[in-house]
Amino acid sequence: MRALGEEMEPQRPRQRAGLGLASQGGCSQMPWISNPVERIVPQTFSFHFKNLMFASGRNCSYLCYQVKRKEHCSPVFPDKGVFQNEVNTPCHAELCFLSWFNKRLSPDECYHVTWFMSWSPCFACTEQVAKFLEKNRNVRLSIFAARLYYFWQPAVQQGLRRLHGVGACVGIMSYQDFKYCWENFVYNQRMPFKPWEKQCENSKILVTKLEEILRNTMSLLKEDIFNKQFGNQPRVTAPYYRRKTYLCYQLKGPNGSILAQGCVRNKKQRHAEIRFIDKINFMNLNPNQSYEIICYVTWSPCPTCAEKLVDLINDQVHLKLQIFASRLYFHWVRKYQIGLQYLWASQVTVAVMNRQEFKDCWEKFVDNQGKDFQGWYKLEEYNRSISRRLNRILMPLKQNNLEDSFRDLRLGSPSPSSRSYSR
């Protein structure tokens, strides 16, 4: 069998019912759509959701959706259902859902929509969905596909990156996702879900391919910026420059797949940590699955950001957060020390970047032109010094005393004019 990454033109996955190739722009309108069905029969699910490498004959696309409201109010329409391509009409399942859902949207409520799809969206649909998300900021969308549709075409890749860029979570269905669909969207007659041959293996291959496609979404740091901003030297030498806060993050799903990664920096009086938190909240991650986030940051968080990061973890208990800082920010000021202690006491890993973390950051977030990470003079020596300082700050404290101390502090960070060096 030909590997997934090789040329697969003979596969011709299908042209969806009623359409030519998506790149021809055949589904640009949102026609009136009837209501969805509640479930599909087992044979339909087993045939159309099978994540085969060669999936010929599957000309229909199925979309199993779940809508959750953030407010605890009674829904006025079903929160689960299934859409299929409308036969003999130029409308894919994605647009069928949007047309149906758009009539039921309330601007006063927040929604988290999850799609489990037999095929990932085509280019034209990704553009329509992206525009919908940009217009309706109270809607968060997570997409999990059984197979990737014409993934070798640049336009399709661009569409997936477009979705990812507007905050949609785009992923590949795992065993847990297939099982969930079987239990919630299939007339299963109480029969347990039975995975097919090479289901997990095929999912891993598709995850790798999707990661490769989405990796280009992120703007990589320039080598010079990385060396200057992430350098752990105690002082800046001539020629002098301002040290700013850069935060590089990577979000991993329950199967270890990379769901999102990127780099943010301080902007318009908003610290990088706050902008990072906004991005994570925007994704509206599935509370029934576990996620891991690794952050590499040039400066350790200020007290206000530390509090907000703890709030993020407390609100989303399925998240595990690790923070690796190149340098400690105002480490001699008591309330900044308590901020770091509060993170540590709240089960947030706080550590100093060593050579391995710098190397990992270099390889994942820097436009390194294929060069190996070389480091700089006294990197290890500076690392040991900063690590000793952090260890003294993070000495074990009683949880209740720490929380009381943190609440008593004024957590506002210094104004830019009061800082001895820029963050």
Active-site choice (94, 127, 307, 357): 94
333, two tokens: 């000021």
Cα 101 from Cα 117, distance rounded (Å):
17
The DSSP secondary structure of 330-384, one letter per residue, reads TTTSHHHHHHHHHHHHTT-EEEE--HHHHHHHHHHHB--TTPPP---TTHHHHHH
Best CA proximity match to 120, nearest among 254, 195, 16: 16
Three-state DSSP state, 243: coil
Cα 222 from Cα 328, distance rounded (Å):
23
Best CA proximity match to 382, nearest among 225, 227, 238, 231: 231
Residues whose CB is less than 8 angstroms from the CB of residue 325 and which lie 6 or more positions away in sequence, other chains included: 297, 298, 299, 300, 301, 350, 351, 352, 353
Best CA proximity match to 409, nearest among 329, 305, 328, 336: 336
Cα 79 from Cα 67, distance rounded (Å):
5
The DSSP secondary structure of 66-95, one letter per residue, reads EEEESS----SS-SEEEEEPPTTSS--HHH
Best CA proximity match to 330, nearest among 419, 234, 241: 419
381 is an active site residue: no
Pairing of strands 291-299, 319-327: parallel
So which residues are the catalytic ones?
94
